[in-house]
Amino acid sequence: MKETRFAIVVGHTVSKKAVIRNRLRRRLREIVRMRLPHLVPGFDVVLIVRSPAIKKTFAELARGLDFVLARGGLVSPRRPKQNQVR
């Protein structure tokens, strides 16, 4: 089964400054990267960022994404495999 894929959309309505839009995109991409091992595989997810996200810290964005993923049923109940020495 394929792994869950994400698209992050930060439009001009969030901010006219590309620096701000790209910063939000980078933060969310990193949050998603850390959570991918814990997600149910096989979904395509589109995150549409709204303007209140500009004022959020990294931790607040992470909590918000965790809430949305749990509400959508995308969090896997099992723990991911740890790196094994072969």
**Is residue 85's pLDDT more than 60?**
no
Rounded to two decimals, the pTM is: 0.82
pLDDT for residue 76: 78
- Kindly report, residue by residue over 51-76, the tens digit of the pLDDT: 999 999 999 999 999 999 999 999 87
Domain regions of the chain by residue span: 5-71
Pick from 63, 1, 2, 9: which is nearest to 35 by CA?
Answer: 63
SS3 for the chain is CCCCEEEEECCCCCCCCHHHHHHHHHHHHHHHHHHHHHECCCCEEEEECCHHHHHCCHHHHHHHHHHHHHHCCCECCCCCCCCCCC
**Is residue 19's pLDDT more than 70?**
yes
Which class is 5-71 in CATH? alpha beta
Mean pLDDT of 43-57: 94
